[in-house]
Amino acid sequence: MGLIQAVKGAVGGVLADQWKDFYTVPAGLPATAALFAAVPQGTNAGRGSNTSGSSNIITNGSKIVVPEGYGLLLFQDGAITGFVAEPGGYEWRSDDLNSQSIFAGDGIVTPLIKQSWERFKFGGQPGGQQQAFFVSLKELPDNRFGTQSEIYWDDGFLNTQVGAVTRGSYTLKIVDPILFVKNFVPASYLQPGKVFDFTDMDNAAATQLFNEVVGSLAPAFSLYTNDPGKGNRITKLQQDSLGFAQSLSAAVEQGYQWKSDRGLAIVKTAIVSIEYDANTRELLKTVQRADALSGGRGNSNLQASVAQGIQSAGENGGAAGIMGVGMASGMMGGIGSLQQPVAPSAPAAPAADDPVAKLTKAKEMLDLGLITQADYDALKAKALGL
């Protein structure tokens, strides 16, 4: 009875696999799907007449449609035999006995007899395996990274080590599908119905990538902040998704050879947050103050501060307070020595020797308590030539 059943199963399998099929992308795929098997239209939409065909045999004359943004990998007995990167419709042709079909004009008696005999030797199953897989050539989004504790790197602008906790996401692209499948995708995903998704936390291979990205964050920050072309500012990180992506991709490649060994590359990043440690926050505050007090703006702030100090000294300390401020600043003319250098400008025209202006200024100084009445009288006499 076993022999009869084997023959029956072999012949039945051959007849079922004679039908041409229409292969396409499965329905309901997530946007982050990277690799998945092509499915016959009858499986995908339930309208096909052939419901008993083998899942690992593609009949000659079958059509495979490659959508935009995807590539097609062809397998024969586990080996990659072809790759298509251009979208469009393609017809499957193979010299393998299992693919020959009376509906494709391959003959009637001979293919049936040969296929039945081969399948009989394998207990009614095909003696070969043919598969078609789609691989995404798009940017795959929502690949997240984050650190639970501070990471540290040497910062060229601050000239010291800085630390931060950070999190964000990046887009990933398969730049070499053949390398990707040969060197990285586990064999368990090269089966019908399986979907390789980088965001699937149950995917051990995807988890490994996550760990490698986290391990590359500190070198990536160092590469970015120590690149003179980036201005050496960590404050630019959140605004420069492409620039930091290049630094992160370079760090990952240097540490783990994603592109050269696995055919993967990081394209863009989005840093959601950077929380600097206490020392780094203090350093950034100091840098911000220095930036705010640089150049002409700093001179204005400095002069206003000194003037406020003189006024406060006059109000609170009388002549003694003013004398102390005057000694520190060289009276009013000493403020100039505290100014920061600014860009040179056109020389100002010399002020006219106006006695009225001199007397007005002297009166203001008298009213502020900066000079005594005797000093004022002396200046008045000199200005009027008395």
Using the predicted structure, report yes or no on whether residue 155 has a pLDDT greater than 90. no
Using the predicted structure, report yes or no on whether residue 345 has a pLDDT greater than 80. no
Q: Regarding predicted confidence, which is higher, 56 or 109? A: 56
pLDDT of residue 52: 47
Q: Give the tens place of pLDDT for each residue, 211-233.
A: 999 999 999 988 888 887 777 67
Cα 286 versus chain centre, distance: 29
pLDDT of residue 6: 34
Using the predicted structure, report yes or no on whether residue 263 has a pLDDT greater than 90. yes
pLDDT of residue 37: 92
* Mean pLDDT, residues 151-162 taken together: 84
Kindly give, in sequence order, each residue whose CB lies less than 8 Å from that of residue 246, ignoring residues fewer than 6 positions away: none
pLDDT of residue 5: 36
CA distances from 29 to 35, 207, 309 (A): 10, 20, 70
* Mean pLDDT, residues 355-361 taken together: 77
Tokens encoding 218: 């500190």
Angle between helix axes 278-292 and 295-329 (nearest 10 degrees) is 80
Residues 24 and 39: their CA atoms lie apart, in Å, by 6
Q: What share of the chain in percent tops pLDDT 70?
A: 64
pLDDT of residue 257: 96
pLDDT of residue 138: 94
Q: What share of the chain in percent tops pLDDT 90?
A: 25
Residues 93 and 77: their CA atoms lie apart, in Å, by 15
Q: Is 275 helix (H, G, I), strand (E, B) or coil?
A: strand
Nearest CA among 173, 179, 191, 175 for reference residue 80: 179
Identify the top-confidence range among 306-315, 328-337, 356-365: 356-365
Place of tokens 């100091």: 286
Using the predicted structure, report yes or no on whether residue 102 has a pLDDT greater than 80. no
* Mean pLDDT, residues 343-352 taken together: 51
Using the predicted structure, report yes or no on whether residue 204 has a pLDDT greater than 60. yes
- Which pairs count as long-range contacts for 270-274, CB under 8 Å and 24+ apart, including other chains? 270/168, 270/169, 270/170, 270/241, 271/166, 271/167, 271/168, 271/237, 271/238, 271/241, 271/244, 272/167, 272/168, 272/169, 273/166, 273/167, 273/168, 274/164, 274/165, 274/166, 274/234, 274/237, 274/238
Identify the top-confidence range among 56-65, 67-76, 84-93, 96-105: 67-76
Using the predicted structure, report yes or no on whether residue 375 has a pLDDT greater than 60. yes
* Mean pLDDT, residues 196-211 taken together: 92
Q: Regarding predicted confidence, which is higher, 31 or 180? A: 180
Residues 250 and 269: their CA atoms lie apart, in Å, by 13
Tokens encoding 99: 């693919």
For the entire predicted model, the pTM comes to: 0.62
Using the predicted structure, report yes or no on whether residue 12 has a pLDDT greater than 50. no
